[in-house]
Amino acid sequence: MNDILYAPWRNEYVAGAKCEGCVFCHISENEAMDEEHHVLYRDEHCFVVMNRYPYTPGHFMIIPHYHTDALEALDPAVWLHMSALAQKGVRMLKEGLGAHAVNIGMNLGREAGAGIAEHIHMHLVPRWERDTNFITAIAKTRVYSTDFEKIFKKLKSITFEYL
């Protein structure tokens, strides 16, 4: 018997229009579309955007406006700014969203696991006790326990308290 896991929200990813060029540069250059792109925050150095296909609810990324695939090419001031945003983002996820813990990571290069290797970005992934189960390890499938838009609106409403 073949089981089918119905995931209609993935249709946009599979069949939707593809962005020409770098998707992160597209988001960086189109501030008027921040709500549509699920941007939580932006300033002169970086923007913070929800991961549209997250590991867990509330998963977001900190991305420099500067297009590079090499962390070592990033202006040190921008890197320090990203780090400061990460500290504030962890606090926001713990205090504002109730996460028990947070994973922070960067996959630098396709061979390191980067889905979008051409533009560096830092992931902040909130974690809760018992938020993992067999389906991720065995079936290579993620179960998203809440509505993406609901989490975006919650984080957007508290962003300026933290970032």
Residue ranges of alpha helices (H) inside 30-147 are 34-37, 76-91, 134-138
The Cα 90–Cα 101 span in angstroms is 8
The Cα 37–Cα 78 span in angstroms is 22
Range of the domain at 67: 19-162
The Cα 82–Cα 136 span in angstroms is 30
Q: Provide the number of structural domains found in the chain.
A: 1
| Residue-wise pLDDT tens digits, 25-82 | 999 999 999 999 999 999 999 999 999 888 889 999 999 999 999 999 999 999 999 9
160 pLDDT band (50/70/90 cuts)?
confident
Q: Catalogue the active-site residues.
A: 121
Q: What is the CATH number of the domain that holds 28?
A: 3.30.428.10
- Evaluate whether residue 6 is within a structural domain: no
- Evaluate whether residue 26 is within a structural domain: yes
Global pTM value:
0.82
